[in-house]
Amino acid sequence: MKRFYLWIVDYLAPIIALLLVVGISLVFWLHINTSERHLNQVALEDARNFSGSVAQFRNFYADTIVPAVRQHNVPITHDYLNIPGTVPLPATFAIDFGDKLSFDSNYNVRLYSDLPFSWRKGGGLHDEFERDAMAYLRDNPEAYFIRHETLEDGTRVLRYAVADILTESCVACHNSYPGTPKTDWKLGDVRGVLEVTRPVSSLHIKNEASAMRTFVSMVVMAVVALLMLGLVLRRNKQTTAEAKRQQQKTQSIMDSVVDAIIVIDEKGRVLEANHSVLQVLGYRVDELVGQNIKVIVPEPDKTYHDEYIKRYISEGHPKVIGFTRHVEALTKSGKVIPIDLAVSEVWEGNKRLFTGVIRDVTERKKAQIEIEKARDQAVQSAKMKSEFLANMSHEIRTPMNGVIGMTGLLLDTSLTPEQRELTLTVKSSADSLLGIINDILDFSKIEAGKLEIALETVDLIALLDGVIDMVAPSAQAKDISLGYFIAPSMPARIKTDPVRLRQILINLLGNGIKFTTKGAVYLNVTSLAAEVIQFEVIDSGMGISEEGQAKLFGAFSQVDSSSTRGFGGTGLGLAISRQLVELLGGQIAVESQLGKGSRFYFSLPLTGAVAEPCLRPMLKPVRLAWVMKDNLLRDLYIKQFAQLNIEVMPFSLMTLNEAQLDPAIPVWLDMGEIIRCYDRPLSLINDIKAHHSSVSLMVGHKQASEWREQMNRLGVKVRIKPVKYANLSHWIHPSSQSATMLQQSTQPELRTEILFEQAKVLLVEDNLVNQKLALALLKRLGLSPEVANNGQQALELLAEQPFDLVLMDCQMPIKDGYTATKELRDSDSINKTIPVIALTANAMQGDEERCYASGMNDYVAKPINPQVLSDKLHHWLKPNG
């Protein structure tokens, strides 16, 4: 069927041409034929009318004229032309009338007979036509006889003959007229023939010319039509050839693809497939074509396949159409293989088809499994590495505990200045080593996924004040301006992990100070959007190149090891900060320009924050005269204070003197500026105090103790820089309530009073150094503890005598602290409910929980912070504690 169609298309042009030629010829022939017939009909009609008229005329003459003239005895003769006073015989009249008509027109009229009058010259039969006509009409007097003839001059004529029948008036005359060949004529006898010869050439010529014109125009139209048809067909052929080429190209592309490609119709019947179906599915193309696609679909999809297609067609909900899915296929051998299947919908005219591209992913899947295995191994070994590092750092922390603790104790003894200097160096080296170890420990914990954050509600200003205080000494040591600014509308308390937030801020501020030699470092706390708090640490330091910024947050990365070597550090701080920020649900980023400074910023979600603002403006407007040291942060302070209803009037020492200010206006004096300008600061401050009722001296940490006593005497308040907002109203109005806050936040002092002289404490510690350290610390608190070297010994002692408190190391030989505590709680010892405080260097996440789980009451991490230990003892040893 298809081939026949193609054959028709191929031979359409010649077929149509042939049909046209045949059609035109037929039409032409019909036209000629019809018009010929028509012409003959016309000619015949014409001749009949003509001869009819002649006959009528003759009859009229014979029946009307002749009887009339006969009444007047006018002789009637055939020779009327030669005999005067006579009229012609009707026959003679007809013959001469015919001659006359013939003479005047193209028509030839003749009357003749096979029995002519003897006197009639040329009245007989002359040619074949006349003889045939005579013979025919004699037998058929009512008929007519015709014949078309071509004359010698080429004229075509129609010869029309009718019988000349004797009427009543004629019979007597014909029987009696002299010279008659026959005397027994009867009524109705055929006397002769009346013939009209009519030329038809002109009619035919006109007709043929018109036919020719019609023919020529038809041929021209046919040629034009054929040409156009030819063009259309040629175009069609080109398009078909192009389509065929495209199809071949598509087919060869399809065949060159390693993926199997299958085209199906709406019923799922396979219409086309490429050769790769053999490799992928094991089917030859001809085996697959015609089958339902379900042959390659494994159960359970096979059962629902028809439904999928139907549902897609009716509802348009695609399951696989339009995207690549990872599914399975069934090969000819019955094997189920993993495949990536991409199905698309294609319209061929109004026929909906689906094309499926099937990729065998068996190998990829295998490789993926291998990769996953390798990745798991890598993750495992990285985890092991991190755990090892964590353990290592933990192990190092234990002796560090001894070094730092002992050095601290040593510094409390009387030393020569040189010894003090050396000891301080040991302490600061140990402190920085501990910082490094803590970083490694934190990092390892994060890497090992063991660092968890502990969210709690935190007083924002107290946290920031504390952070600023922590980093202030290093900024002051480098003579760098330090400060922080906060939008007063920020919430007073936020939910976060204070330890980790503090760690991030200290790291960023510490870096800012470390990498800035001149200028300022400050912290800005704002809210970018509702529910988001942003912290930014800005410095005017050395800056970081774009290249450096890219690797900044990676572990162990220092932007330029040569230039930063002088600054020390492990390259872990930012990596840890990034991870901590992310653990807290935020993002950290940096903007920096080499030589100009950096801006590190991170945002945290503000979930669980209270609506109360962190800072409240002063109830009444306050004016403050501030003699600042060339402070780069001056404008920021003015702006910040303005938000708190405090108008800052910046002065130099000179201008302050001349300003004649209201003595009630509080005056802040920056000690750095005084020392820079005057050799005798004390007398200057004294002078100023004489003119102003409230004078505060802004000093650095180190200078505080140096100046506090002298200033007290002058009635001048000593304030430790930089500004801390928790204390601000007290700083402005020293009589206000929060007087103690300054004391607490800036002067942490160890409470060394003698406590609980009667309290019986058991120290359980295996490590000798740590034993000594703990004993020394406890002695300073007035305690003389008993010592046990391990858990076992502790249990024995606890079974013998009552104690008030146990300080229990966790990891010990023979019996560790956890087991000992558990056994104590499970025993019926007299000390069964005694408070047990863990002393442990195990800083890994979960250790604290482990302590509580074993029945301990509290937790002090090593290296022991004397203040923390003191606080815990106060808590647990207080009479109702």
Which residues of this chain interact with ligand ADP, rule CB under 6 A?
507, 511-512, 515, 539, 541-542, 544, 552, 557-559, 564, 569-575, 598
Q: Shortest approach of ligand ADP to residue 441 CB, angstroms?
A: 14
Nearer to ligand ADP, 451 or 685 (CB): 451
Alpha helices by DSSP H, listed for 330-459, are 362-411, 417-447
Contact 413, 439 (CB under 8 A): no
Which residues 6+ apart lie within 8 Å of 551 measured at CB?
557, 559
Nearer Cβ to ligand ADP (515/668)? 515
Q: How far is the CB of 502 from ligand ADP (least distance, A)?
A: 15
- Please list the alpha-helical segments (H only) found in 112-265: 128-139, 168-176, 201-256
User: Closest Cα partner for 668 from 645, 690, 688?
Assistant: 688
Q: What is the DSSP string of 642-711?
A: HHTTEEEEEE-HHHHHHS---TTS-EEEEHHHHHHH-S-HHHHHHHHHHH-S-EEEEE-HHHHHHHHHHH
Q: Chain centroid to CA 327: how far?
A: 24
| CB nearer ligand ADP, residue 88 or residue 483 | 483
**Closest separation in Å from C-beta 504 to ligand ADP:** 11
d(CA 429, CA 280): 69
Output the CA angle 77-82-85, nearest 5 degrees: 65
| Shorter beta-carbon distance to ligand ADP: residue 88 or 541 | 541
> Least distance from C-beta 843 to ligand ADP, angstroms?
19
**Minimum distance from CB of 602 to ligand ADP (Å)?**
13
Dig out the tokens for 573 from the structure. 């701080």
Six token digits for residue 797: 């002692």
Give residue 775's Cα distance to chain centre: 68
Of the two residues 276 and 503, which places its CB atom closer to ligand ADP in the complex? 503
Give every CB contact of residue 49 below 8 A, 6+ residues apart in sequence.
none
Q: What is the DSSP string of 703-745?
A: HHHHHHHHHHHHTPEEEESS--GGGHHHHHSTTSTTHHHHHHH
Which of 161, 167, 164, 163 minimizes the C-alpha distance to 66?
167
Q: Kindly tell me which of 574 and 807 has the beta carbon lying closer to ligand ADP.
A: 574
| Cβ(680)–Cβ(658) below 8 Å | no
CB nearer to ligand ADP: give 544 or 777.
Answer: 544
What's the min distance (Å) between Cβ of 327 and ligand ADP? 47
In the complex, least distance from residue 655 CB atom to ligand ADP, rounded to whole angstroms: 35
Tokens of 709: 């006593």
Tokens of 625: 């005269």
> Do 528 and 603 form a contact (C-beta atoms < 8 A)?
yes
Please name which of 486, 497, 492 lies closest in space to residue 610, comparing C-alpha atoms: 492
| Residue 390 beta carbon to ligand ADP: minimum distance, rounded to whole angstroms | 19
Q: Tell me how far, at minimum, the Cβ of 471 lies from ligand ADP, in Å.
A: 12
Report how far residue 455's alpha carbon sits from residue 14's, in angstroms, rounded to the nearest whole number.
92
8 A C-beta contact, residue 722 and residue 468? yes
Shortest Cβ 448–ligand ADP spacing (Å) = 19
The minimum distance between CB 561 and ligand ADP, in angstroms, equals: 8
CB of 474 to ligand ADP, least distance (A): 13
CB-nearer residue toward ligand ADP: 407 or 579: 579
Whichever of 483 and 541 has its CB closer to ligand ADP, that residue is 541
634: which 2 tokens?
């001056």
Closer by beta carbon to ligand ADP, 503 or else 603: 503
Q: Tokens representing 635?
A: 């404008």
Task: State the alpha helices, DSSP H only, in 528-670.
Answer: 546-551, 561-565, 573-583, 634-643, 653-658
Per the DSSP assignment, residues forming a β-bridge with 271 are: none
Least CB distance to ligand ADP at residue 578 (A)? 9
Structure tokens at 578: 């990034």
- Smallest distance from ligand ADP to CB 515, Å: 3
Minimum CB–partner distance for residue 862 and ligand ADP (Å): 23
Q: What is the distance between the alpha carbons of residues 118 and 380, in angstroms, rounded to a whole number?
A: 152
Considering the complex, state which of residue 566 and residue 879 has its C-beta at the smaller distance from ligand ADP.
566
CB of 480 to ligand ADP, least distance (A): 12
Q: Is the dihedral of CA 31, 37, 43, 45 positive or negative?
A: negative
Given a contact cutoff of 8 angstroms between Cβ atoms, the answer to whether 539 and 520 are in contact is yes
The answer to whether the CB of 624 falls within 8 A of the CB of 665 is: yes
Hey, how many other C-beta atoms are within 10 angstroms of the C-beta on 605?
A: 15
CA distances from 531 to 500, 563, 577, 711, 851 (A): 20, 40, 21, 45, 36
Q: Give min distance, CB of 343 to ligand ADP, in A.
A: 51
Alpha-carbon dihedral sign for residues 805, 810, 814, 820: positive
Q: Judge contact between 803 and 762, C-beta under 8 A.
A: yes
Q: Closest approach of Cβ 549 to ligand ADP, in Å?
A: 9
Residue with tokens 């199906």: 264
Q: In the β-sheet with 805-809, what is the strand arrangement from edge to edge?
A: 786-788, 761-764, 805-809, 836-840, 858-861
